[in-house]
Amino acid sequence: MGRSPCCEKAHTNKGAWTKEEDNRLIAYIRAHGEGCWRSLPRAAGLLRCGKSCRLRWINYLRSDLKRGNFTEEEDDLIIKLHSLLGNKWSLIAARLPGRTDNEIKNYWNTHVRRKLLRRGIDPSTHRLLNETAAAHDVNTISFTGAKDAAKDYPIEISLKKDENMKKISVEERCPDLNLDLKISPPTEPSTETGRKSTLCFVCNRGVNNSKECSCCNFAATAHGSSSRQWKQ
């Protein structure tokens, strides 16, 4: 029994959204709130499918979106969360206020992956590329202060397809993992002392004297956070 289409494809627009479509969607949601996405397009006078409206709203039109370049703090947090959660972009996005899963996914694929590869780190396993097979037993990344963070921001991963293991808490898997979730929102500038007290991801991975290191080199380059920003 086939699955019914999410919308009537023959009468819907596709591709880039126009300013007018954006305005219609914003006006409708401001007036009526986020309701039934399936019926929204017709009610709002849009020739779009509900899915498309939802995506447009969530990824672009919401007022609480941050936009703009990712900060070094956000970079580090994304890497840490990805090492723990894998490609669970929505879970990662939930920890980065103002960022969407789509945005983080794109950013990961275009910037972070390459950044890790340049550092000699496999972006999918978060291990050194030349790491020996003996290291396969090592399964955690050590960050300080994990207990406090885990207590205030518990993350649970549901593994519904695994009959024997319904849920694994982060604390169980990585008892010494520090998600740095108590530090501050990404927009909030971190203090130099706060920054230096924590090893960056490169040092945590044991890559010494790396140019990419953001904790050892921080004092020397603290003034130049913008100079270290990624090309847009």
Partner DNA sequence: AAAGGATCCAACCGCTTTACA
Partner DNA sequence: CTGTAAAGCGGTTGGATCCTT
Distance CA 179, CA 146 (A): 7
Among 23, 43, 97, 109, binds DNA (CB under 7 A): 109
Beta strands in the chain (DSSP E): 156-158, 167-169
124 near DNA (CB under 7 A): no
Whether the CB-CB separation of 45 and 24 falls below 8 Å is answered with yes
Cβ at position 191, least distance to DNA in Å: 29
User: Least distance (Å) from DNA to the CB of residue 141?
Assistant: 20
Contact between 107 and DNA per CB under 7 A: yes
Least CB distance to DNA at residue 196 (A): 29
- Tell me the DSSP string of 155-222: -EEE-TT-TT-SEEEHHHH-TT----TTT--TTSPPPHHHHHTS--HHHHTT-TT-TT-SSSSHHHHG
229 near DNA, judged by CB under 7 A: no
Which of 46, 101, 183, 204 is the binder for DNA (CB under 7 A)?
101
Residues 142-181 that bind DNA (CB under 7 A): 158, 160-161
d(CA 135, CA 125): 12
Q: What is the DSSP string of 92-125?
A: HHHTSTT--HHHHHHHIIIIIHHHHHHTTB-TTT
Binding string, 43-72, against DNA, x = CB under 7 A?
-----x-xxx-xxx--xx------------
Q: Establish if 1 lies at the interface with DNA (CB under 7 A).
A: yes
* CA–CA distance, 170 with 176 (Å, rounded to integer): 9
Q: How far is the CB of 82 from DNA (least distance, A)?
A: 10
Residue in 73, 74, 81, 89 binding DNA, rule: CB under 7 A:
89
If one asks whether residue 115 binds DNA (CB under 7 A), the answer comes out as no
Q: Count the residues in the chain.
A: 232
If one asks whether residue 87 binds DNA (CB under 7 A), the answer comes out as yes
Give the separation between CA 17 and CA 221, rounded to whole angstroms. Answer: 41
Residues that bind DNA (CB under 7 A): 1, 3-4, 6, 13-17, 35-39, 48, 50-52, 54-56, 59-60, 87-91, 101-103, 105-107, 109-111, 114, 158, 160-161, 230-232
